[in-house]
Amino acid sequence: MKGFGSAQFDRRRYPRLDFSLPLAFQISDDPQAPEGVSANISLGGMMAFLPGSVEQGRIIDITMLLPLGNEKHTCKAKAEVVWARQGNFESGWACQVGLRFVEMPEAASTIWKRFLIEWQGEKQ
C-alpha cells in the first residue's frame, strides 16, 4: 500500500515476552545436554542462544526450570528450529535460534501457561 511508510507488522501468532530463562537442550543423540538461555518467550515458542550450532529444521528437546511462586517446576518440550543464526553473540553464545514448540505434555503445557500468565501479570 502506498502512503503508509515503512510500518512493519508482527506476523507472530503469540505475543513475545522478554524473559531470560536458563535452558537445557538435548540435540539428537548427544548425551550431553548443552545449556542455553532464552531471550524472549511465548506460548508457542521462544528465541534462545546456544553454545553450539544447530541447523534449521532440527527437532530438539528442551528442559526449562520455571519459577512459580516459591517453587521451581521442570517443563519439558520438543521444539523445531525455525531459524538459526551462527555467530559470536554477547556472552559468548555461538548460535541464536527461533524455536516453535511441536510437542509438550499436558502437564508441562499447564505449567508453561501458568508461568506465562504469572510473569505477564507481574509486568503490568
Per residue in 68-108, pLDDT (tens digit) is: 888 888 899 999 999 999 988 877 888 999 999 999 999 99
In angstroms, rounded to a whole number, what is the distance separating the alpha carbons of residues 74 and 2?
49
Q: CB atoms < 10 A from the CB of 83, how many?
A: 12
Q: Tell me, which fold does domain 17-123 have in CATH?
A: Thrombin, subunit H (2.40.10)
Cα–Cα distance, 69 to 20 (Å, whole number): 17
What is the percent of the chain with per-residue pLDDT over 70, rounded to a whole number? 77
What pTM does this model have?
0.78
Q: Give pLDDT, residue 10.
A: 46
Mean pLDDT taken over the chain: 80
Rounded to an integer, the average pLDDT of 47-67 is: 89
